[in-house]
Amino acid sequence: MRILPKIAIAQINVTVGDIAGNSRKVLQAWQKAGEQGAELVIFPELCITGYPPQDLILFPDFRKKAIQAVQEIAEKTAGGTAIIIGCLWEDKEKIYNAALLLDGRKIVHIQPKTMLPNNGVFDEKRLFDAGNGTVITNWRGHKIAILVCEDVWHEPHVSSLKNQEVEAVFVINASPFEIGKYEKRCKVLIKAAIIVNAPVFYVNMVGGQDDVVFDGGSFVVNSYGELVLNLPQFSEHVSLIDQMQVIQEKPREWQIWNAMKIGLSDYVRKNGFSKVLLGLSGGIDSAVTAALAADALGADNVLGVLLPSPYTSKESVDDALESAKLLGIKTRTITITSGMEIFDKLLTPEFEKSGWMEEPEIGGNLQARLRGVVLMGLSNRYGSLLLSTGNKSEIAVGYSTLYGDSCGAYNVLKDVYKTQVYKLANWRNQQSQAIPESSIKKAPSAELKPNQRDEDNLPTYDILDDILAKHIEHRQSAEEIISAGYDRKIVEKVLKLVRLSEYKRSQSCLGVKISPMLFGKDRRYPVTNKF
C-alpha cells in the first residue's frame, strides 16, 4: 500500500439553508487546509445545505442553488487541494444525499448515500432516494472509498469493500450528540477499518441546529483498528492529519454542559438574537440555566428576572440574587402580588369561593401564567429570547403550567433529568463558583402556596428519574418496572402522569437533545391515547 497524500479534516459549523454562507465557510476552510499543505480536505455530510435540511429538500430552487454551489466550489480546485464534500445531488428524477469528490475543477466522483436512516431526528427516506452501494474510485492513483454516515454502521455494506485493496475509507457525517455516542462511533469505525484493512477517516459536523447538537469529535482509525488521531468535541477545527493528536475523552458532565452550551449559543445566534432572559427563582433549574446562558453568550447578554409572590420565601430571593451576582448578570425584580390581587377580585365571584389562589390547579397555575405573561412582555420589549427552565423530570410528569413556566423559545434542560441537573451544578461549581450552594441543597419547591415541596406530590427524584428512564428511554411497561422492585402505586401514578401530560409536551419549546429519547422527534406519542 502506497503512502497516502496529505489529508486534512474540516470539522465545521454550518447553518441549515444558508447555502451562500456555508459555501464561504467551506472555501475558507479549504484555503486554510491548502496553506497547511493538504492535498485533500474532507467536509461533513450535507455541509452545503446544512443538516437536517428537512422539507427544504422538496423545493426545486433550493436543490438548484445547492448544486450550483458545489459546481462553483469545484471550479476553485484546479491544480490544488481536492475536496470531499457533502451535498444533495439530483440525477434525473432522483434526489440523493451524496458525497462528492472535487478535483481539477471537476466533480470527479459522486457517491450517493445507500442506507437512509428513518428514526428519531432522521427522516431521510421521505426526502432522498437510496444509492446502490459504494463504488470504489481511483483518485490521483489511489483506490479510495467514500461512505456517507449511516452506510458505515451497516456491516454488510462495509464488508462489500473487503479484499478490494482499498487504500483509504472516508466517512462524512452529520451525527448528533448523545451521551455515549462517541464511544459507539469509535467501535463501529474500528471494526470497519479491520474489515476493509485500510485506514478510516471520520469527519463529523459540529454545532447546534434547533434541538440537535453535532459534537464534532472527528477521528482517524488505522488499518489495525487503532484510534490514532482525533479532534476535540464542540468546536470547529481545520487540521492536517499529522497535526492532530489523540485527545482523551472528556467526563460526561463536561460533554453534556458543552452540548447544551453550543446548542443554546447556536440557536440564539443563528436565529438573529444576541440576548436572552429567564425567570430567576432561586431554584436549581433556573440557576443552572442562567449559568449555561452566561457561559454560552456572555454575562452581559443574560437578564435574570425575579418574579416574587406572597409565597416566595426570602431565601429564594436571596438565592436568585446570589446566582446573578456569581454570574455577573443583570436582574429585574417585578412582584406579581398586584396581579394576583386583580385576578382574585376578578375571578372569586365566578369560583364562588375564596382562598382559591392557594389551590394548585387554579391559583397555582394562574400565578405561573402571570409570570409567563410578564416574561413574554419583557422578551418583546427588549428583543431578548426567553428561556424556559423546566427539566425532563418535570416535563415528563407535567409538573409545569402550560402558558406559564413552560413559556419560552428554548430550554437547555429539556432532556436532562433532575438528578442530572444536580450533577451538572456540582460539576460546574468545580470549574468556578457559578451556582449558589443553597440552591443545590434546599428541597425543590414551586412556591405556589405556603410550605409547598415537589415531593408532596412526587416520589423523590432519584426514584422518579429511574422510573422515567426505564419507561421513556427503555420503553418498559409498568409491570416490568414494578418487577425491578418499585412500588406499584408509585409506578402506576408516574406512568399515568406521563400519559396525561402528552398534550403539554406537544406544545413545549425546543430543547437540546442529550439522550436517545428527547421529547419531540425522538418520541412521538398520540395526545388522545387510552393505552
489 catalytically annotated: no
Which listed residue (47, 87, 124, 149) is catalytic?
Answer: 149
Query: How many other C-beta atoms are found inside a 10 Å radius of the C-beta of residue 35?
Result: 11
Bridge partners for 121 per DSSP: none
Q: What is the tens place of the pLDDT at every residue in 20-76?
A: 999 999 999 999 999 999 999 999 999 999 999 999 999 999 999 999 999 999 998
Per CATH, is 256-447+501-511 categorized as 3.40.1180.10?
A: no
Rounded CA-CA distance 391/223 in Å is: 44
* Cβ–Cβ under 8 Å, residues 419 and 396: no
Bridge partners for 230 per DSSP: 219, 245
Bridge partners for 411 per DSSP: 511
6 catalytically annotated: no
Domain ranges for the chain: 7-241, 256-447+501-511, 459-500
Query: How many other C-beta atoms are found inside a 10 Å radius of the C-beta of residue 85?
Result: 27
Q: Which CATH number fits domain 7-241: 1.10.260.40, 3.40.640.10, 3.60.110.10, 3.20.20.70?
A: 3.60.110.10
Q: What is the DSSP letter of 251?
A: P
* Cβ–Cβ under 8 Å, residues 435 and 326: yes
Q: Which stretches of the chain score pLDDT less than 70? A: 1-2, 446-456
Rounded CA-CA distance 135/146 in Å is: 8
Which listed residue (25, 45, 178, 470) is catalytic?
Answer: 45
25 catalytically annotated: no
Which listed residue (25, 47, 87, 113) is catalytic?
Answer: 113
Q: Count Cβ atoms within 10 A of the Cβ of residue 260 and give its class: 0-12 exposed, 13-18 middle, 19 or more buried.
A: buried
Query: How many other C-beta atoms are found inside a 10 Å radius of the C-beta of residue 479?
Result: 9
Res 163: pLDDT = 87
The closest alpha carbon to 400, from 519, 310, 489, 517, belongs to 519
Structure pTM?
0.92
